[in-house]
Each structure stands twice: as structure tokens, then as C-alpha cells.
């Protein structure tokens, strides 16, 4: 039986959310229909809207249902930019941290290529944390041209928490709306949309013990968003498409539970993560923990390390064959492994960045999972290094 240490990619559904999903799947009704079944489905959607809003410190009217985090991020980046530019043609600069998830980075680059945006990638420090002084300087020089700022609540690779309070404070001085991808943060650290001062925030179901294929963009009242999808005019005319009542109901239950259990989750899983890091550093002394070392500055479930002399893909495959499922810090495009853009933005050189592994814990994680990893990791690292040396020797 395998040990699953890739909860940041997706985590199993909690029983309560699975039960609600199963119950709702047995019912029929389009929430936009006016007959009894349609009204019942609409009631399910609106009750879920209220539940999710209450859990995340938002008003129900601020919840826009989407198909997941990627769609919500696209709606935020594109919708906010187009609306701002239409109001003031000078607002063309799109400020995005260099370590964003591709669900934010890729639409930002697309806007620069196709929609006249001037993309500004905001730098981070060696821990992957936004350099607030760089944002301050950018706004002092070009604040009247800024259309929006997007900085994630917590980085999906390093687990680094971002200084959103400082970002929002600076943005307010120049009237610039701020979006945050909180996909990784919800359920791991306290997340309160209203208290944050954010204008928009992304959450998704499959990261918090809910189903895949459903998410939400929380958008403050009064925020103008140009729709990305056009059709039936659902969700305040911002996001057309038939609402999936079963997924939405299950998602809201999962968020509610994740938020309620967040303090206990953070304490228990944070202790497991600390044990994992301590064990890795004891067994593989030259392994390097990436991201903030201070526990309070990173997600409790995240451990990201680089292993000198190793290829991340080799480590991943060797661990997988030993029954340990994790992930690398690299993205593979067109069959060519590339170092993580997050590590490169942190100043890690390409050679070191290629030897990255991310271990992420979740609600089912146990001490046995950590011990199983530590039992096989030294041998896996030795084999990966030997393979790397053999490859270098054959090339030379």
C-alpha cells in the first residue's frame, strides 16, 4: 500500500463532503429552472453560498462559483484587468509575484501578449517571500498605471506565506485592487476574506477535502469584473454556466469543516512536518530545506527540499517504486524537464533546482507515513546520485 505525501496537489475527500455529494447526486434539478426541482437545487446552491461565505469571512453576495481554482484565477486576472482598463486606459500594468501558480502566471502572460497588458513580475527573497520594497518602488513610480496586483496567500511549492497585509496597505494608497490565490492556504492557516482587505480571492474544492471540478472567486461588492465566459448570465452575470448543485454543496461542507478544524490540523500536521524535516536533515545532511524555516512563516503541511547531485524526477520515480508518492519542484513541458520557476525566482541555480522534492501532508497523514518515507529516503538518494554520476560519466 502506498504512502501519499502529495496533498498539496489534491487531498482525499472528507467523509462528510463525500456523503453530501452522494446525496445530492441522487437529486435532479437545474438551479436556474423555475419548477419545484429547480427551486430545490437553487436552495441547495444558496445555502452552500451562505455556508462558504461564513466560513471564509465573506458575504454570500461576494461568492462567485467557478469550476475550480484555475477558472477563478483567470476570472480575477482577466476580469479585473479588462474592467480597470476600460475605466482608465492608463491602467495597463499588471503586477504579479514571480512565484505565482501557473493559473495566475499564464493568464497574466497571455494578457501581456494579447490584451495590451504590461506585465510586471514582482521579485521574491531567498525564502520565496515577496519583496515588499520592490512593490513599494513600483507603485511609487507607476501607481497610477497599475490595473491590479495578484499575490498568492501561500506558495504552493515552498509553502511560504506572503505579506498580504503590506500588499493591501500599499495598494490602497494608489487605488489598486488586490487578488490572492488562497487555494493552498484555506484550511491550513486562518483565512478571513473580509478582514484581509483583499478585493478578490480564489479557493477550490479538492485542496480542502472536497470534490474536484468546483471552486469559487470571492469578489468584494462593488468590484467590477468583465466576464470571461458568456452565456446564461449566472452568478451576477460574471460567470455564466449551469451551476453544479451537488459539487457546490459538497465543496461548502468541506470548506466549513476545514476552517473549523484548522487550528487542530495545523498543530497536528505541523508536528508531523517538523518531524519529517528533522528526519530528512539527519539522514541526508546535505539536503536543503527551501522556503522559510520559521514554522509561523510557512504552511504547516509543506516541506520542500533540494537534494544535491540528484534529479528530482529520478527521486520521484524511485520513491514511487518504493511506495512513496510525492512531487517534484519542476514542471515538464513538451517532455523536457525544467527547473521550478519558483526556485529560480528565489535565486536557486538551475543545477540545485533540478533536485527538488515537495512533501505535503493532509488530514489522513500519520507518523507511520513519515517513518515510511524516512526508512527509504537515504537509499533512494544514494541511487539517484549514482544514476546522476553515471549519466555525467557517459556524457563526458
How far, in whole angstroms, is CA 261 from its chain's centroid? Answer: 19
Mean pLDDT of the chain: 95
Q: Which helix (H) or strand (E) holds 166?
A: helix 164-173
Q: Are 306 and 288 in contact (CB under 8 A)?
A: yes
User: Over the stretch 73-97, which tens digit does the pLDDT of each residue have?
Assistant: 999 999 999 999 999 999 999 999 9
- Residue 329 predicted with pLDDT over 70: no
Share of the chain above pLDDT 70, in %: 96
- Give CB contacts under 8 A, 24+ apart, made by 317-321: 318/380, 318/383, 318/384, 319/357, 319/373, 319/376, 319/377, 319/380
Q: Kindly report, residue by residue over 266-311, the tens digit of the pLDDT.
A: 999 999 999 999 999 999 999 999 999 999 999 999 999 999 999 9
Q: Is 332 a catalytic residue?
A: yes
CATH for the stretch 15-260: 3.40.640.10
List the domain boundaries for the chain. Answer: 15-260, 262-395
Sign of the alpha-carbon torsion through 105, 106, 112, 116: negative
Domain 262-395 falls under CATH 3.40.30.10: no
Nearest to 246 by CA among 68, 24, 22, 33: 24
State the DSSP H helix or E strand holding residue 20, giving kind and residue range, or none if neither: helix 15-25
Catalytic one of 22, 126, 260, 332:
332
Amino acid at each position: 500500500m502506498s504512502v501519499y505525501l502529495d496533498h498539496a496537489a489534491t487531498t482525499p475527500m472528507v467523509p462528510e463532503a463525500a456523503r453530501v455529494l452522494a446525496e445530492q447526486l441522487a437529486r435532479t434539478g437545474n438551479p436556474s429552472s423555475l419548477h419545484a426541482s429547480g427551486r430545490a437545487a437553487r436552495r441547495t446552491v444558496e445555502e452552500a453560498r451562505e455556508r462558504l461565505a461564513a466560513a471564509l469571512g465573506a458575504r454570500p453576495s461576494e461568492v462567485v462559483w467557478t469550476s475550480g481554482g484555475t477558472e477563478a484565477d483567470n476570472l480575477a486576472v482577466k476580469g479585473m484587468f479588462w474592467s480597470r482598463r476600460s475605466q482608465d486606459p492608463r491602467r495597463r500594468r499588471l503586477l504579479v509575484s514571480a512565484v505565482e501558480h501557473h493559473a495566475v502566471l499564464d493568464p497574466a502572460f497571455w494578457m501581456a501578449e494579447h490584451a495590451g497588458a504590461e506585465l510586471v513580475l514582482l521579485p521574491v527573497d531567498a525564502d520565496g517571500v515577496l519583496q515588499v520594497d520592490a512593490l513599494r518602488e513600483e507603485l511609487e513610480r507607476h501607481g497610477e498605471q497599475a490595473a491590479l496586483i495578484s499575490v498568492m496567500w501561500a506558495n504552493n511549492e515552498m509553502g511560504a506565506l506572503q505579506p498580504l497585509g503590506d500588499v493591501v496597505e500599499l495598494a490602497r494608497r494608489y487605488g489598486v485592487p488586490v487578488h490572492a490565490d488562497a487555494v493552498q492556504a484555506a484550511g491550513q492557516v486562518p483565512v478571513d476574506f473580509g478582514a484581509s482587505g483583499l478585493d478578490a480571492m480564489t479557493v477550490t474544492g479538492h485542496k480542502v477535502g472536497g470534490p474536484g471540478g468546483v471552486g469559487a472567486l470571492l469578489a468584494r461588492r462593488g468590484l467590477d469584473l468583465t466576464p470571461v465566459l458568456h452565456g446564461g448570465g449566472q452568478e451576477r452575470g460574471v460567470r455564466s454556466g449551469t451551476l453544479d448543485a451537488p459539487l457546490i454543496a459538497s465543496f461548502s461542507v468541506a470548506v466549513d469543516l476545514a476552517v473549523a478544524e484548522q487550528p487542530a490540523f495545523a498543530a497536528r500536521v505541523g508536528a508531523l512536518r517538523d518531524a519529517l524535516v528533522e528526519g530528512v536533515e539527519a539522514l541526508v545532511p546535505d539536503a536543503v530545506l527551501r522556503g522559510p524555516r520559521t514554522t509561523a512563516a510557512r504552511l504547516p503541511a509543506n516541506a520542500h527540499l533540494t537534494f544535491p547531485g540528484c534529479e528530482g524526477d529520478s527521486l520521484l520515480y524511485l520513491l514511487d517504486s518504493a511506495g512513496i508518492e510525492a512531487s517534484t519542484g519542476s514542471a515538464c513541458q513538451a517532455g523536457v524537464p525544467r527547473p521550478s520557476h519558483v526556485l529560480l525566482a528565489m535565486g536557486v541555480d538551475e543545477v540545485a533546482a533540478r533536485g527538488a522534492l515537495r512533501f505535503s501532508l493532509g488530514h489522513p497523514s500519520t507518523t507511520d507515513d513519515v517513518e515510511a518515507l524516512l526508512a527509504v529516503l537515504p537509499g533512494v538518494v544514494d541511487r539517484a546520485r549514482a544514476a546522476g554520476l553515471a549519466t555525467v560519466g557517459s556524457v563526458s
